[in-house]
Structure 1
Amino acid sequence: MASITNSEPQLDNRVNGRVKSEPKERLIALHLAIGQGIADTEAGRIKPISDVAARLAAKYNDRS
């Protein structure tokens, strides 16, 4: 369901578990995900989309 880029699998699992629960819990999960994204950005744990697109293109073009 929810996915957080550049995060630990434990955080993804925690957010996904909350998203499947009640609406209030879903809002909490959304706030957690947004907060983690902001923290990742501020800490420089992001990559330019052009780099990511090139990596994915190379990965999936090699599979054909």
Structure 2
Amino acid sequence: MGDINIYAIIATNEHTNDQVNAGNAILLRAKDETEQQALMREVALAVRGDVIKLSNGLFMILTADR
């Protein structure tokens, strides 16, 4: 089984830089929650990733090395 990686973090403009530290992941900022959800679906489908919504409203897209 491969390693699990955080591929992307999807935030809105309401999230401050203190709340978001993407590390090696891609950071996408949406203008609002509607755009955030659309970006989440598009990226997750493109990379066959699993989505996790955090309690602070951020979305993380996880991928596994295959």
Q: Say whether the fold is shared (TM-score over 0.5).
A: no
Q: Which has the higher contact order (CA 8 A, sep 6+)?
A: 2
Q: Report the structure number with the largest CA radius of gyration.
A: 1
TM-score under structure 2 normalisation?
0.31
TM-score under structure 1 normalisation?
0.32
Q: Per residue, is there more helix in 1 or in 2?
A: 1
